[in-house]
Structure 1
Amino acid sequence: MKLARLASGGAPRVVDLFSGCGGISLGFHRAGFSISGSVELDPWAAKSHALNFHGDDPGQVALHGRSRDMTTLEPDDFCKELDLGSPGEAVDILVGGPPCQAYARIGRAKLRDIANDPEAYKIDPRRDLYLRYIAWVDRLRPLALLIENVPDMLNQGGHNVAAEIADLLEGHGYVARYGLVNTAFYGVPQMRDRVFLIAYRKELALIPELPRPTRHLDLPQGYKGARSVALKYVDLLNAGSYMSPTTDASLQGAVTAEEALGDLPLLNGDDVTRGIRRRGPETWMAYRADVEPSQYALEMRRWQGFEAQGINDHFIRYLPRDGYIFEMMREGAEYPEAHRLAENAFKDKAKALRLRKNSQRWKELHAAMVPPYRTDTFPNRWWKLIRDEPSRTLMAHLGKDSYSHIHYDGSQRRTISVREAARLQSFPDGFRFAGTMNPSLRQIGNAVPPLMAWEIAKVMRSALESAVKRLKLERRLSVYG
């Protein structure tokens, strides 16, 4: 029935669980899917999703922008609330990234037993979200589904949880495969390793595949090491459900930080005041007229349905102590070097002022010039972008300090802005984020890069179209006997 609807020209309908602000939704939207609804607990992220996918009608924004809790929400109630129709008929594709940490020490047989018990999710709240996801799969019976998660799911307490999920889905009527990919290979100006699991209903006779890379990058040693640890429990000789992504050194290099950010307005960290936190029409800014935008920048400006003539959200954190350190740091430098630069600058100034060591004025100057953090723990708590390379991974805690992404242009003496974080995550300039600076940065750091989601969505759309063509052929053959 769902294939017949697609065969008649209907767009595939997506429900996004654990949607965040909508990184996966945006990629699927661009590939021609219809975003029917989402489930998200964070109220700011839920509102952002509604603003971008249901923003023409204030009533629909209010309806879709509600915070929803997967631990209590039932699929039938969700479909009824959003007027989607019968649960078994309403959804073609289910996407999302349920947490899997609670399954590190559970074997495949036990995992199947737990998932097949409709009351099991009540036993351990940590398992709740994952079991709820499986329950929604059973009730909605999507043609296909996508699960996204961190690389650690391949090696949690000695378990390859992704393989266990794939095995579990096989018992629920799906053919499932998973793979570890880095988004820099797919046009995102950011090195971000993530696991993607794709599954199709067995009736479709489809084998999941990953998209082919569009770019090439020799990953830094730190990323290579982390990938080796993550892949320790993936048997590449008998991989089963693992999809090994291809690489092609002849492809164009990865999109760089400067290609992503170079056309955005200059901001001087010294000019920021503590009070600027909210956006509005008065905060709109034009693109730089003195910089030729890169192809990536043009893509972010011209994304269909999210076009922009300039930007909002170009806010930066108020960090008056550290601007001079940002300026002195080399591109690619981390916190130990930043701390050393600050100490040297402090000593020079204290000497010029003839301050006695450990005097009150000496201590006050030290506190005003030198960050207080230790240098032997978390050296990458500070990092300055390298203009000719893609960014490091953006994390959710970007909303708390943003020192992990200092702008490569030292003359601007600052960390990246909300809009610059969105650019590094491949959100188009017309995409809106609800809330002030901190929740906006958290939403961006938590998101799946839309360009990565788009590449996967195109592959899944093509697979579904092949199933539709097969259905049409079977109908013709049945007509002609």
Structure 2
Amino acid sequence: MKNKKKYTYIDLFAGAGGLTIGFGNNGFHLEVANDIAEPALNTLKQNLKLTHPKTHLDRVILGDIKELYEHLGNGEVVYNMQGHMVIETNKEVELRKKVPSVKDNVEIKNILSKITHVDVLAGGPPCQGFSMIGRSKKSTLEERTKGFIDDPRNQLFKYYLKFAEKLSPKLVLIENVKGLASASGYRDLIEKSLSDTGEYGYDAASWVLNAKDFGLAQNRERIFFIGVRRDLSEKHDITASGIFEEIIKEKKGPVKLKEVISDLPQIKANPKPNNYQEEAEISFNNKKLCFGRNISDIIYDDLISKTVDSNYRKKINTYRGELKKPELLFNHKSRYHNDRDLFIYKNLVPGKYLNDPANEKALSKVTYGVVIDENGKKKVKGFGDKYFKLDPESVSKTIIAHLETDGNSYVHPGEFPRSITPREAARIQSFPDWYFFTGSTRNQLKQIGNAVPPMLSSVFAEQFKNVLDSIIENEK
């Protein structure tokens, strides 16, 4: 008989909720979610009643993780600066300026001070600091780890570990960009720092996983770290590597892009710049002019093509064993492209880079980064996928936050070439169709690109639930 215990988790750096969907899908109760990106957190809040109906909205907290940690009752974290310079980008500084302080927020303090333990801590803390001691080959791993942790550029990661130290979760999950696996030995440093965290420490391991190996139509490599609290690891013979081995067993073949997005309405490019107001939208009934709508004016079932295999659609829309269908289609709205870009889009060959001979006609209109080679041929230098049409017979490129700025390298392969819409990007990321993204069309794309694919996060959540179930069974 399966254990019915409700496991708890905290999602730090939660964004729009990619991890949150996966853990909610496996019955985990969300104690707290936090981020400093307000539009993304608004999206998580907007959908909370569907993903976590028993979690109150006040548990989704917009604020600086440092101030949240202080509400756990430990006071400020003291840094050993080691002579490092604090380096922050202008975007980070501006983002922090916009976030309201929660330092003196009594309600938030009351929520956090009552949390003494969670089963799982999950999130994707940034790890950006390249400390000099971390680069030294002569220094020990302990010295390099200390340099890494104490580097003020890694303060967000340090606070993430402080949450683990304070709450002693049984399991810890960290997600980050693949490049971290080879950058200055960071992989070893993060495993070592996780290993040394808290009263017990954690058995830690990491693995680079590709979303396309787990049933997604997307080539997306990310590194994941798992920590198992060492007392439980030793007592129950559960290792982080063992959990990864079970996750690897869940691998399945990728699906083709056409199986993921071709059932969505074929819409045209937005005809005017800055034309994103609701009153400018055109009905989906007008197939000649419609460039999509943020919320459709026709019911979902009438807009989705019935001729396309629905297995993928059913999979992403099934939550806690129940197929959920929205009444309307959300976030399927295209943006404006100038005539030059539309010409390039039309003449791109799906799956071929700009310098491929097949794209000669498209390349003829490209003006940025162009060089003439020794044979007198026009080429682009350094960014062969500056313009790129997705191949319906293959998987998509990695959906990234840069889509907010430029969709030229994510051209839809359908009847009306244009950059993909937020809903199409969300489909490729495996977000449910009933998941509504708030904010501007551009910001929706940023939220989607930053997220952990829900289908992949669900694989982790399922394995974590199995581990927690086994611990309870063994302790009976």
TM-score exceeds 0.5: yes
> Taking structure 1 as reference, are residues 8 and 339 closer, same or farther at Cα in structure 2, changes over 3 Å only?
closer
CA distance in structure 1 between the aligned counterparts of 2:319 and 2:264, rounded to whole angstroms: 16
Give the alignment partner of residue 394 of structure 2, picking from 384, 389, 396.
389
- What are the superposed Cα offsets for residues 371-422 of structure 1, whole Å, 9 maximum, x if unpaired? 545321211122111111111111110111111211122x212111110000
Which residue of the partner structure matches residue 448 of structure 1?
452
Which residue of the partner structure matches residue 421 of structure 1?
425
* Structure 1 unaligned residues grouped into runs of 5+: 1-6, 214-244, 345-368, 473-481
Which residue of the partner structure matches residue 312 of structure 2?
296
CA distance in structure 2 between the aligned counterparts of 1:290 and 1:469, rounded to whole angstroms: 45
Contact conserved, 2:246 with 2:463, CA < 8 A, in 1? no
Matches within 5 A, 1:320-339: 320-321=338-339, 322-336=341-355
- TM-score normalised by L of structure 2: 0.76
CA distance in structure 2 between the aligned counterparts of 1:423 and 1:246, rounded to whole angstroms: 24
Which residue of the partner structure matches residue 46 of structure 1?
41
**Residue identity in the other structure for 1:133:** Y
Give the alignment partner of residue 143 of structure 1, picking from 170, 183, 195.
170
Which residue of the partner structure matches residue 457 of structure 1?
461
**Residue identity in the other structure for 2:220:** R
Matches within 5 A, 1:398-417: 398-409=403-414, 411-417=415-421
Deviation of 1:429 (Å): 0.3
- What are the superposed Cα offsets for residues 291-326 of structure 1, whole Å, 9 maximum, x if unpaired? 233310222344457532441100111103222321
Which residue of the partner structure matches residue 154 of structure 1?
181
Identical-pair percentage? 26
**Residue identity in the other structure for 1:331:** P
Give the alignment partner of residue 221 of structure 2, picking from 193, 204, 210.
193
Higher mean alpha-carbon deviation, 301-310 vs 435-444, is at 301-310
Give the alignment partner of residue 361 of structure 2, picking from 327, 336, 341.
341
* Structure 2 unaligned residues grouped into runs of 5+: 73-101, 135-139, 279-293, 371-379
Contact conserved, 1:301 with 1:308, CA < 8 A, in 2? no
SS state at 2:164 partner: helix
RMSD of equivalent CA atoms: 3.1
CA distance in structure 2 between the aligned counterparts of 1:108 and 1:54, rounded to whole angstroms: 45
SS state at 1:393 partner: coil
**Residue identity in the other structure for 1:294:** S
Which residue of the partner structure matches residue 332 of structure 2?
314
Give the alignment partner of residue 210 of structure 1, picking from 236, 244, 248.
244
1 or 2, which has the higher strand percentage?
2
> Taking structure 1 as reference, are residues 211 and 436 closer, same or farther at Cα in structure 2, changes over 3 Å only?
farther
Contact conserved, 1:11 with 1:32, CA < 8 A, in 2? yes
- The number of residue pairs the alignment matches comes to 398
Matches within 5 A, 1:19-418: 19-54=14-49, 60-61=56-57, 63-74=58-69, 76-77=71-72, 81=108, 84=111, 86=113, 89-103=116-130, 105=132, 106=134, 108-113=141-146, 120=150, 124-157=151-184, 159=185, 161-172=186-197, 173-205=201-233, 206-208=238-240, 209-210=243-244, 245=248, 253-269=253-269, 274-277=274-277, 279-280=294-295, 282=297, 286-304=302-320, 307-321=325-339, 322-336=341-355, 340-342=360-362, 344=364, 370-374=366-370, 375-409=380-414, 411-418=415-422
SS state at 1:423 partner: helix
Which residue of the partner structure matches residue 233 of structure 1?
none
CA distance in structure 1 between the aligned counterparts of 2:32 and 2:306, rounded to whole angstroms: 41
Which residue of the partner structure matches residue 430 of structure 1?
434
1 or 2, which has the higher helix percentage?
1
> Taking structure 1 as reference, are residues 164 and 125 closer, same or farther at Cα in structure 2, changes over 3 Å only?
closer
Larger Rg: 1
